Amino acid sequence: PARRSVRVACVALQDPRSSKPRFIVVRRAEGTLLAGTWSLPEAEITGATNHLAAAHQALARAGLAADVIDLVGEVRQIFTHRDVTAFVSRAQTETPPPAHQRRWVDPRALSRLAVSSFAKKTLALAVRESSTRRVRRVDRRTLDCSAA
């Protein structure tokens, strides 16, 4: 059978107050692909929705928000019945994550959680690329785009 192509927006939300890199991960809902595992907040990009709108939607579903989101790149993962392309972004928040379905995690400590290889790829891209190259900065308040 043909694989269904899926596009998602993932957001690596970093804690700017921490001296070590910490990002928020959320537990995937029951009945979804990779249910019960931990991943970056994500939302499917459908129809005319762009990656930025989907990124804000992903954060809102997790009870989070960020005004400025930096697109850092794409990750592709082929599953048995899906070909998934993730548009990975990075943002900062000072919103604490105390909730049963979300938590702060140091990327080096992912082995302590149930995390898929797909989630590891998306977080690795956000950590690596945002520190080594220029990213496109999009400010939700003005919706202006400029090189950061």
The more confident residue out of 46 and 32 is: 46
Which long-range contacts does 27-36 make (Cβ < 8 Å, 24+ apart)? 27/100, 27/101, 27/102, 33/79, 33/82, 34/116, 34/118, 34/119, 36/114
CB atoms within 10 A of CB 19: 6
Q: How far apart are CA 139 and CA 9, in angstroms?
A: 16
* Local confidence band at 63 (pLDDT 50, 70, 90 cut-offs): confident
With a pLDDT cut of 70, the percent of the chain lying above it is: 81
| 79-96 tens-digit pLDDT | 888 899 999 999 988 766
| 92-147 tens-digit pLDDT | 887 666 677 888 888 888 888 888 889 999 989 988 754 544 434 444 443 333 33
Average pLDDT over residues 32-40: 80
* Local confidence band at 21 (pLDDT 50, 70, 90 cut-offs): confident
pTM higher than the cut 0.75: yes
Residue 5's pLDDT is 93
